Amino acid sequence: MIRVVKGDRDTCLSFIEELKTRVGETEKSVEETVSDILKKVKSGGDEAVKAYSRKFDGWTPETLELSRTEMKELSKDCDPSFLESLRRAAANIREFHARQKQQSRIDPMGNGVITGQRVRGLHRVGVYVPGGTAGYPSSVLMNVIPAQVAEVGEIIMVTPPGRTGKPDPNILAAALVAGVDRVFLMGGAQAVAALAYGTESVPKVDKIVGPGNIFVATAKKQLYGVVDIDMIAGPSEILIVADDSANPEYLAADLMSQAEHDRLASAILITNSEQLAAETVKALYRQVETLSRKEIIEASLDRFGAVIVCESMEQAVEFANDLAPEHLEVCCQDPFEYLGRLDNAGSVFLGHYSPEPLGDYFAGANHVLPTGGTARFFSPLSVDDFIKKSSFIYYPKEELLKAADDIIRLAETEELTAHANSIRVRKEL
């Protein structure tokens, strides 16, 4: 079910290259299908969206938008204890992201020059939320709350209805808790297109965030530039760095918590303890028998899982930085010893009692994370993703004249004589 290898640096790097095969180029047929959907929604508006809803979802709403009253009524079907947990998670997420908020600033100088920066939330953001078996209320919280903290003007959620014509009540409950302004019943590439271009009933947004299938991801990629997007997420992944203080039962459970996402998920343990490696493998075989997604877990671990026995913890840290995983657990006696050296990871989980699902659901840090090694240069979704900044400058006449010769010289060196002239006329007249 999972391979066990002795890992020198070359072996580790080879394994990283193997993992990259999970994220191939999108099939040309998918690209073409999505491109056609985008064009038809752009020209056909609501009717085109409804036509694709009939084709792909088997149901067409009379009106795309779900009213506030309908949201509240449908969410009454939710388990009250689930709602309580949802509210507690939302409070933690809101508190964490509130600390990320930036302030506008104005910087006056003694010579009369004034510079500064204005920070404000985007005007309107669209949040895509999958339905059906891929409906995750936690993703609603993680995508909506940072936008709300950033003071986005309006937050639009889109989610496909089931074949009954009704959306997932748990998703609607999460939307109410998180503070979504409007909800539209539509999914797939057509929903992304409606958000990007706007239709008769769907307002055009400035940015689209949220997970989706290959058609949703491809639509977001093709529309980047028309709107901003969060990221193109790949298959989920976890790397656990562990020493001999770790509990193999915990490690096995955490590896499978990511492997159950899909057959392309990656779950890797790297340790300097051969005994821990062997005991973790035994725990994997034992625990998987009790889990509902056993076949998916086994397929994932077979293709993209590994237990790597390295020569030292220093080598484990090097491998972690080379892999740049989405989730990185540090199950060591003193996890904070390694924190300052782990530069490339979406989110880091420290110690034996900070498993990855804690971050997925409750601790407050965002679970929308870079995958496929992009944690080398991308960051988790945050309040920063929902703001825009403008700088401003004010110079009195005397200060501009002091700087005039330098500006003219720089402009003329670049052969931009009109730039130089803009300064010169103020100097000479």
Of 237, 260, 298, 326, catalytic? 326
pLDDT attached to residue 23? 65
Of the chain, the end-to-end C-alpha distance in Å amounts to: 81
pLDDT attached to residue 1? 79
Instruction: State yes or no: 190 annotated in a binding site.
Output: yes
Instruction: State yes or no: 272 annotated in a binding site.
Output: no
Rg (CA), the chain: 25
Q: What are the distances in angstroms from CA 43 to CA 49, 98, 193, 201, 228?
A: 11, 40, 11, 14, 21
Q: pLDDT tens for the chain, 429 residues: list them.
A: 798 888 777 777 777 777 777 766 567 889 999 999 999 999 999 999 999 988 888 777 788 999 999 999 999 989 999 999 999 999 999 999 999 999 999 999 999 999 999 999 999 999 999 986 667 999 999 999 999 999 999 999 999 987 777 889 999 999 999 999 999 999 999 999 999 999 999 999 999 999 988 999 999 999 999 999 998 888 899 999 999 999 999 999 999 999 999 899 999 999 999 999 999 999 999 999 999 999 999 999 999 999 999 989 999 999 999 999 999 999 999 999 999 999 999 999 999 999 999 999 999 999 999 998 999 999 999 999 999 999 999 999 999 999 999 999 999 999 999 999 999 999 988
Phi, psi at residue 89, to the nearest 5°? -60, -45
Q: What are the distances in angstroms from CA 367 to CA 34, 151, 337, 342, 382?
A: 27, 20, 24, 18, 10
pLDDT attached to residue 39? 97
Query: Nearest-5° angle of CA 45, CA 51, CA 52?
Result: 95
The position carrying tokens 């782990």 is 342
Instruction: State yes or no: 97 annotated in a binding site.
Output: no
The whole-angstrom separation of Cα 225 and Cα 207 is 10
Domain 3-23+234-363 has CATH 3.40.50.1980: yes
Asked if residues 216 and 128 have their Cβ atoms less than 8 Å apart, the reply is: yes
Give the distance between the most distant pair of CA atoms in the chain: 86
Query: Nearest-5° angle of CA 43, CA 48, CA 51?
Result: 160
Q: Distance of alpha carbon 179 from its chain centroid, rounded?
A: 19
The position carrying tokens 């965002």 is 366
pLDDT attached to residue 193? 98
DSSP code for 91? H
Instruction: State yes or no: 360 annotated in a binding site.
Output: yes
The whole-angstrom separation of Cα 388 and Cα 95 is 21
Region of residue 179 (phi > 0: left; psi between -120 and 50: alpha; otherwise: beta): left
Closest C-alpha among 313, 295, 211 to residue 256: 295
Specify whether 326 is catalytic. yes
Grouping H, G, I as helix, E, B as strand and the rest as coil, residue 67 is coil
Instruction: State yes or no: 258 annotated in a binding site.
Output: yes
Asked if residues 236 and 301 have their Cβ atoms less than 8 Å apart, the reply is: no
Closest C-alpha among 120, 177, 124, 176 to residue 153: 124
Instruction: State yes or no: 123 annotated in a binding site.
Output: no
Q: Which residues, including other chains, have CB under 8 Å from residue 157's CB and lie 6 or more apart?
A: 126, 127, 129, 140, 144, 175, 180, 182, 183, 184
Q: What are the distances in angstroms from CA 160 to CA 140, 396, 420?
A: 14, 56, 56
Of 327, 329, 356, 367, catalytic? 327
Q: Which CATH architecture has domain 28-229?
A: 3-Layer(aba) Sandwich (3.40)
Specify whether 352 is catalytic. no
Asked if residues 195 and 205 have their Cβ atoms less than 8 Å apart, the reply is: yes
Stretch(es) of the chain classified as CATH 3.40.50.1980: 3-23+234-363, 28-229
pTM for the whole structure: 0.93
Query: Nearest-5° angle of CA 118, CA 120, CA 126?
Result: 150
